[in-house]
Copies of this chain bind each other. A is one copy, B any other.
Amino acid sequence: MTLLVTILGNNSALPAFGRHPTSQTVEVNGETILIDCGEGTQIQMQKYGIKWRRLNHILISHLHGDHYFGLPGLLNSMSLMGRTEPLHLYAPAPLQQILDLTMQVADSEFSYPFHFHPLPEGAQLLADTPYFKLSCFPVEHRIACHGFSIEEKTKGRRILPQMCVQYNVPLAFYNNLKHGAHFTTVEGVLVDNSLLTEAGPVSKRYAYCADTVFTDSYLPYIQGADTIYHESTYLNDSKDKAKVRFHCTAAEAAEQAKKANVKQLLLGHFSSKYKDLSLFELEAGAIFPNVVITTEGNTYEV
């Protein structure tokens, strides 16, 4: 069981100092989910060895260009490579018209079934697969914007092989055991599940808070997450600017992590006015100790 976040871009609107606009992948039980897709994402994916093959879900938080201008290129490239697996895109509704137009003017069609799922206004479960649960929740930005929550599914309870052999449990019943079923022997004896299995690993939860002003409104959706990625566009020196532009400072992001009682805080979406990021760690770390200043190409365990 692993839930891994790889940063492809952690800068805000303007690319600077080798930092790219927002994009990251989440690997969960062997599946890859892409969150936001700033310009250059497909090139960053190549650079950091992220395989398109396992990418079936893409999430776009909002329609500021630094969060989706890399999407048309990525979708096209997967088509040129002859992808046939369905692809699911969860994004603000107006993006569909933009994508339709780019395909129409190019006289092109995707090589794969493409499913566009417009994001709702509020919070909602978006997908429930055998590998993960995926939800969105509203945050507060200058335009409609969503955060996302990804919860891995564990494979259920862990089998105790010796006990199963002792009670002659057939292999075909193991999956039922994993999901908590009790077993009845051929002699009609009911064997409690707790004799045949032990607790499996706890499932982890990751929340991506997108671009947002400092507000309590989305705290219920990230409460108790193992790791959150939170924007920290500015330092304390630009607290007022952060508010006016519907962004947060590093200290505000740390406040949210503390209030939501999460275990780890990943910071990103740094303004291009900052070359050196060490103050982000200092200002956030004073409030919430387990903070990570993300670096592009690095992978973080949730």
Contact = CB atoms under 8 A, between A and B. Distances in A.
Interface stretch (A66-74, A167-175, A286-294): A66-74
A193 interface: no
Contact of A76 (B43, B65, B94, B97): B65
B102 A101 contact: no
Interface string A76-90: 110011000000000
A105 B63 contact: yes
A106 B76 contact: no
A179 interface: no
Q: How many copies does the complex hold?
A: 2
A65 B73 contact: yes
A95 to B, nearest CB: 7
A138 interface: no
Nearest to A43: B15
Interface in A94-147: 94-95, 97-98, 101-102, 104-108, 142-143
Contacts of A69: 39, 69, 72-73, 76
A53 to B, nearest CB: 15
A217 interface: no
A160 to B, nearest CB: 50
A77 B14 contact: yes
A42 interface: yes
Contacts of A15: 42-43, 46, 77
A92 interface: yes
A158 interface: no
Interface string A37-50: 00110110010000
A73 B107 contact: no
Residue in A43, A81, A107, A143 with the greatest tally of chain B CB atoms within 10 Å: A43
A20 interface: yes
Interface string A11-47: 0011110001100000000000000000110110010
10 contacts: A39-B69, A39-B73, A40-B40, A63-B106, A65-B102, A66-B73, A92-B105, A94-B101, A101-B101, A106-B143
